[in-house]
Amino acid sequence: MSRPAILRSLQTIVPETTLRQDEVRDVFAAQPELGRLAQRIVTASFNGSGIDTRYTVLDELSLTADTVQPQFFDRETGRLLSPSTKVRNEVYVREAWKLYVDAARRSLEADPGIVAADVTHVITVSCTGFYAPGPDYEIVRALGLPENVERYHFGFMGCYASMPALRAAAQFCAANPDAVVLVVSVELCTLHLRSSEDPDMIVATSLFADGAAAGLVTARTFDQIAPGFALDRFHTGIIPEGKKDMAWMIGDAGFEMILSTAVPQLIGDNITAALSPMFHADALGTSFDDGRIGEQVTHWAIHPGGRSILDKVEEHLGLSEQQLHPAREVLRQYGNMSSATVLFVLRSILEQEGARDGERVAAMAFGPGLTAEAALMTVVAQ
């Protein structure tokens, strides 16, 4: 039996500029074009988000920044500006590559056994900007990886994209036992925030943030063990009735997130059916609905798409408050960083939740479609 691929040396970073949720709320609620109803929706969405702080690459969004020619926020007037998609993407090109390279470098430096020359594949993940040659090229050049490294980009898939990226990495390792796959996710969601009276846009504005994560996936045996997760099994589920409720489109003034207030209920109502195939007897020795999943799975790495989504997942899967703690804490401290977020939750489970060798982990993330991507993992700590 072949050795399972291991996700190891998981690292996460955020930009330097901190956004306090209450301060951002007040800025958005004070925009002069908003009617009284929209102002109330802004206040309710921000107050109920479960978020204290978020991070952004846009220094000018800070209330203390002194920007000579503001493009996104004029601090003197308090007005949120509306730059074009071209302007927003130019900022992505300027800022994203630094986070890609930094996250990738940190992952390699954190690994006690893997060096740059060992890397055979690079997978980059993002849905918040585009350019070519892209971040995969930047990583290879900046870190001195072999020029014949295979490079792949998972683009514009949304919040769930790190899960299929890990699945692809595991498949590369199954096909080539010597493969070492570097997976890097960078999302600059704040580039696309804007003032709006649309309730769906307001909800998105109250949630999204910037962040980056990277890890190494390999089935090779190295002299030094790095704590991580064995990638045991993946599953994709679709909730087709939610297609119109979660989407990601390109507009003239940035990318446009459709995130309706119906999403939490849709996920709650359908999550059991969407994920049950992953929990059949071959995987856990029990079925999904026989009441023993909580005993078999110790840790749950749920993508915190929003507080209401976590509430519905907790309710419908019968999870404990402690099992949702890492997801809620990531949401509170960092907001929703799209595809990078579930990697933040996995790192928290490994480093802050007392995960022990051999414990089972269920990870899942939701995105456009509605698509639910999930994985079963096993903690590898020794």
CATH number of the domain at 296, please: 3.40.47.10
User: What pLDDT does residue 286 have?
Assistant: 52
Contact 45/252 with Cβ under 8 angstroms?
A: no
**Does residue 93 lie in a domain region?**
no
Give the model's pLDDT for residue 270.
83
Tell me, yes or no, whether 339 lies in a domain: yes
What domain range is 288 assigned to?
Answer: 228-380
pLDDT at 157: 94
Residue 332: closest CA among 44, 50, 55:
50
Is residue 333 a part of any domain in this protein? yes
Instruction: Tell me the pLDDT band of 243, cut-offs 50, 70 and 90.
Output: confident
Tokens coding 247:
């989407």
CA–CA dist 187, 57 (Å, integer): 10
pLDDT at 371 over 60: yes
SS3 call for 32:
coil
β-pairing, 6-13 vs 228-238, is antiparallel
What is the domain count for the chain? 1
Distance separating the N- and C-terminal Cα atoms of the chain: 20
Tell me the pTM: 0.95
In a domain, 362, yes or no: yes
Q: Is the Cβ–Cβ distance between 210 and 56 less than 8 Å?
A: yes
Q: Would residue 172 count as lying in a domain?
A: no
> Is residue 246 a part of any domain in this protein?
yes
Q: Is pLDDT above 60 for 291?
A: no
For residues 292-319, average pLDDT: 87
When pLDDT is averaged across residues 235-255 and rounded to a whole number, the result is 86
Q: Is residue 236 part of a domain?
A: yes
pLDDT in the model for residue 224: 82
3 belongs to a structural domain? no
Q: Residue 173 catalytic?
A: no
Residue 317 CB burial class (10 angstroms; 0-12, 13-18, ≥19): buried
Reported confidence tier of residue 296, pLDDT bands at 50, 70, 90? confident
What is the spatial distance between Cα 45 and Cα 43, in angstroms, rounded to a whole number? 6
Cα 136 from Cα 212, distance rounded (Å): 14
pLDDT greater than 80 at residue 287? no
